[in-house]
């Protein structure tokens, strides 16, 4: 027992001595950027929109499932093969990427690993699900078309160090621009018309750029929802307000009742569509049309007050003449100004 205790103490002393006075144990070398001495490292990117579930104009974002692949060559990882080796991502050099316009709920769903072929070709795959923030120009809402982009940025790498570009192998295999999408997507109120991917340096601060890559799709809004549930009800409310022009001015109470009912209906309508209309500091096409309808309904109420007052003062003939003119002035004004709204 005594010999064992002495041996244990001796081993402990040797171990502590090696820590205190021995040579430090070398750490594994940090992964180096491939081809650092011969220009920027070229990384090919392939992107695929597996799904586009929603575009939220009010929140200025879109929700999607985006799959992307990065491919580069690292000769230091070449091996006899023939099998492909898998490494944890932090074991090899890789672009330290982020999605610059990613929402708070954006998440990675695939393991953080890379596959390395015998010749040193490295392939990294990832799938992102969540929202992407997207400032929109909604001046022609709801007849607008927008470009929606996921901004892929390599942190700590300038365009002189890292070149992100469409993957040549994917293009050779028939995927135009190395970007594609599923033919069946969840989103139903927009139509995707084009896809694009390009190298776009990301301006971090003036004079400083990071290597970046934009993956985008162009979509056109399908306006049927707004035509049937927003624009058509407004037109009917405006038409309803004009019925006062066919009521004799001597029936002032009936005229005022219809005019006030039209105004109250319009107010209720404005509350009902509040959630469907983006809150913006500028007028959209739809905003201008709603404002036009609101003004005309209010003016019809003013016209009724004027003709009623004239009828009460025994000027019925003048009141009826005003009503006759209003029957064509109001519709003509509405038609002309509406045309200006929609063609601007």
pLDDT of residue 108: 92
Domain assignment present for residue 148? The answer is: yes
What Rg do the C-alpha atoms of the chain give, in angstroms? 34
Domain assignment present for residue 74? The answer is: yes
pLDDT of residue 270: 83
Residue 231 and residue 169 in one domain: no
CATH at residue 179: 2.70.170.10
Q: At what angle do helices 285-312 and 252-272 cross, to 10 degrees?
A: 160
Domain assignment present for residue 28? The answer is: no
CATH at residue 295: 1.20.58.390
| CA pair distance 104, 92, nearest whole angstrom | 28
- Which residue reads 């081993």 in tokens? 11
| CA pair distance 32, 210, nearest whole angstrom | 19
Residue 292 and residue 155 in one domain: no
DSSP state of 161: T
Question: What residues make up the domain containing 199?
Answer: 40-222
Phi, psi of 34 (to 5 degrees): -60, 135
Residues in Cβ contact with 57 at an 8 Å cutoff, skipping those fewer than 6 apart: 136, 138, 141, 278
DSSP state of 344: -
Which residues of the chain are modeled with pLDDT < 50? 1-29
Give CA separation, 82 vs 34, 114, 118, 119, 323, in Å.
22, 16, 6, 10, 91
pLDDT of residue 344: 61
Residue 267 and residue 145 in one domain: no
Domain assignment present for residue 313? The answer is: yes
Residue 123 and residue 202 in one domain: yes
Residue 281 and residue 299 in one domain: yes
- Kindly tell me the sign of the dihedral angle through the C-alpha atoms of 280, 283, 289, 295: positive
Neighbours of 111 (CB within 10 A): 11
DSSP state of 121: E
pLDDT of residue 266: 87
Q: Give 41-95 pLDDT, tens digit per residue.
A: 999 999 999 999 999 887 889 999 999 999 999 988 998 878 899 999 999 999 9
pLDDT of residue 186: 92
Task: Tell me which residue of 28, 126, 114 sits closest to 73, measured CA to CA.
Answer: 114
| CA pair distance 168, 320, nearest whole angstrom | 77
How many separate domains does the chain show? 2
């Amino acid at each position: 027992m005594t010999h064992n205790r002495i041996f244990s103490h001796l081993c402990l002393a040797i171990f502590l001595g090696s820590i205190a006075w021995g040579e430090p144990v070398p750490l594994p070398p940090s992964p180096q950027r491939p081809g650092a001495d011969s220009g920027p490292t070229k990384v090919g990117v392939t992107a695929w929109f597996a799904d586009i579930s929603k575009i939220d104009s009010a929140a200025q974002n879109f929700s999607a499932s985006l799959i992307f692949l990065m491919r580069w060559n690292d000769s230091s990882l070449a091996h006899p093969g023939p099998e492909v080796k898998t490494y944890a991502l932090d074991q090899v050099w890789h672009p330290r990427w982020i999605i610059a316009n990613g929402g708070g709920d954006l998440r990675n769903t695939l393991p953080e690993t890379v596959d390395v072929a015998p010749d040193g070709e490295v392939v990294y795959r990832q799938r992102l699900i969540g929202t992407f923030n997207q400032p929109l120009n909604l001046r022609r809402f709801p007849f607008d078309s927008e470009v929606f982009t996921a901004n892929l940025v390599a942190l700590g790498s300038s365009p002189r160090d890292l070149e992100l570009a469409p993957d040549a192998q994917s293009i050779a295999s028939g995927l135009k621009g190395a970007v594609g999408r599923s033919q069946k997507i969840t989103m139903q109120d927009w139509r995707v018309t084009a896809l694009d991917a390009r190298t776009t340096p990301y301006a971090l601060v003036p004079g400083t750029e990071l290597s970046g890559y934009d993956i985008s799709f162009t979509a056109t809004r399908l306006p049927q929802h707004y035509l049937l549930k927003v624009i058509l009800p407004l037109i009917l409310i405006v038409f309803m307000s004009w019925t006062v022009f066919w009521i004799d001015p001597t029936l002032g109470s009936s005229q005022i009742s219809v005019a006030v009912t039209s105004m109250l209906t319009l107010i209720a309508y404005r509350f009902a569509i509040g959630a469907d209309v983006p809150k913006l500091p500028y007028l959209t096409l739809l905003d201008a049309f709603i404002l036009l309808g609101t003004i005309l309904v209010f003016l019809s109420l003013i016209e009724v007050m004027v003709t009623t007052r004239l009828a009460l003062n025994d000027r019925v003939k003048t009141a009826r003449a005003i009503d006759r003119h209003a029957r064509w002035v109001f519709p003509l004004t509405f038609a002309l100004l509406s045309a200006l709204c929609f063609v601007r």
